Amino acid sequence: MAQASNITRTRVAWAARLAFALACLALIAPAGPRVALGPQQTVDTRQPKLCVHTRLMDEVDEWKVQRSLQMTREMGAGTIVEFFPWAYIEQAPGQYDWSGSDRIFRHARQQGIRVIARMGYVPAWARDGAGEHSTLNTLPARSYADFARFSASFAERYQDDLSGLVIWNEPNLAFEWGYETVSPEGYVALLEAVYPAVKAAAPAVPVLAAPLAPNLEPAGSALAMNDLDYLRAAYDAGLADVSDGLAMHTYGFTTPPDEGPSPGRLNYRRAELLRDIQVAHGDGDSPVFITETGWNDSDRWAYGVSPAQRIDYTLSALEMAATEWSWADAVCLWVLRTPAPTLSYPDLFTLLNTEFRPGALYNAVRAWARGEQTDEALWLPAPRG
């Protein structure tokens, strides 16, 4: 009995020593990095429509979120478009992890920046039974109600900072539609589930129909549906009743921004053709948010232009939207920066590299937005033989 008591006392003593040692180790472990919000900021800009697409939900470090939004403000952009993957936030039904989105909105608010939120990416639990090889873009119809519930929760949580809620992305592309058959009617059915849920939760947040990928695919293509045909079909299926406006993508590819629009041509002013369709279907009073635009200066991509052309075209395009497109509420450049480089031509869309080094276009847009003059030559003239 006495021996058992001694053994117990010894074990308790060792347990106490171990707990003390672990507590000491925990105290000397380095503290996590802290990011101070700082004083409230406002965006100094002469271009209220200027906007830029960010990719912050994939950032691990909070300081990079803050730095990105700080440089967005310094560039003169008062709005961002950000992608908020459903799969990141609701990893199990009804269980939300808002930490990633909370910190983006916290820093955006502090920088004086409004947010247009793009919703998408389906969690695995919502794709159950969709097939062994479903993708993050595969949204079975039986999960429309879950997506609607999530979108409503999101809109309610962030309604004070949201300028719009974009439902899905480029659904006229097969791969964005989970490599299922592209269907404007199917997309409108999705909005029929989402729209009332969001409006009930956050009535003041505009629900924006998804932007479409500009393309010239022939009818019946397995890869995509022509954006003009898709929008007409979506309106015929009732799009105007389940949206408060349109998001649009319009890229310049290899042509200057003033090249005239044509159904058989992909250029910046293709946005005017989409606008015409919107007006023709009685939806002209609804706003348009151009959530992606720009040029790429890769000298190897078939759709790239030179760095000098990229600057010239982009500034002219922004000026055109500011002065001639009264129907466009925002024009958002694709893309401020990506958390990791693709090491391929998509990197040449960025305004900042992954180390936050501003490219020539960032400096030019900043000068334009803030009304500053810049005569600094960024590079030497081409060598002459």
Q: How many CB atoms lie within 10 A of CB 291?
A: 26
Cα separations (Å) of 162 from 165, 230, 327, 332? Answer: 7, 27, 19, 15
In the complex, minimum distance from the CB of residue 74 to another protein, in angstroms, rounded to a whole number: 18
How far does the chain reach from its first CA to its final CA, in angstroms?
101
Report the residue from 52, 273, 359, 365 that binds another protein according to the rule CB under 8 A: 359
Region near another protein per CB under 8 A, out of 99-107, 108-116, 296-304, 316-324: 296-304
In the complex, minimum distance from the CB of residue 58 to another protein, in angstroms, rounded to a whole number: 11
Per-residue interface string for the shown chain with another protein, residues 5-44, x marking contact by CB under 8 A: ----------------------------------------
Region near another protein per CB under 8 A, out of 62-70, 112-120, 167-175, 226-234: 167-175
Report the residue from 31, 34, 300, 376 that binds another protein according to the rule CB under 8 A: 300
The answer to whether 151 and 194 have CB atoms below 8 angstroms apart is: yes
Distance CA 229, CA 171 (A): 13
Up-side HSE of residue 21: CA atoms within 13 Å toward CB?
6
In the complex, minimum distance from the CB of residue 145 to another protein, in angstroms, rounded to a whole number: 24
Return the number of the residue (218 or 379) whose C-beta is nearest another protein: 379
Q: Which amino acid is at 60?
A: V
In the complex, minimum distance from the CB of residue 292 to another protein, in angstroms, rounded to a whole number: 12
In the complex, minimum distance from the CB of residue 126 to another protein, in angstroms, rounded to a whole number: 16
Report the residue from 135, 159, 254, 316 that binds another protein according to the rule CB under 8 A: 135
In the complex, minimum distance from the CB of residue 223 to another protein, in angstroms, rounded to a whole number: 8
Residue in this structure with the two tokens 């999101």, named with its chain if needed:
154
| 3-class SS of residue 164 | strand
Return the number of the residue (96 or 303) whose C-beta is nearest another protein: 303
Cα separations (Å) of 198 from 33, 90, 190, 335? Answer: 36, 17, 12, 27
Q: Is 88 in the site for another protein (CB under 8 A)?
A: no
Give the pair of three-digit tokens for residue 52.
């830029």
Give the pair of three-digit tokens for residue 344.
């391929």
| 3-class SS of residue 119 | strand
* CA 234 distance to own-chain centroid: 22
Return the number of the residue (10 or 344) whose C-beta is nearest another protein: 344
Q: Is 342 in the site for another protein (CB under 8 A)?
A: yes
Return the number of the residue (34 or 133) whose C-beta is nearest another protein: 133
Return the number of the residue (34 or 357) whose C-beta is nearest another protein: 357
For CA atoms 72, 77, 78, 79, the dihedral sign is negative
Tell me the number of residues near another protein by CB under 8 A: 37
The answer to whether 308 and 300 have CB atoms below 8 angstroms apart is: no
Nearest to 325 by CA among 115, 74, 46, 47: 47
Distance CA 278, CA 236 (A): 11
Interface positions, 205-264, toward another protein (CB under 8 A)? 223
Q: Is 133 in the site for another protein (CB under 8 A)?
A: yes
Angle between helices 62-75 and 99-110 (to 10 degrees): 30
The footprint of another protein (CB under 8 A) covers 133-135, 137, 173-175, 178-179, 223, 297, 299-303, 306-308, 340, 342-346, 353, 355, 357, 359-360, 378-380, 382-385
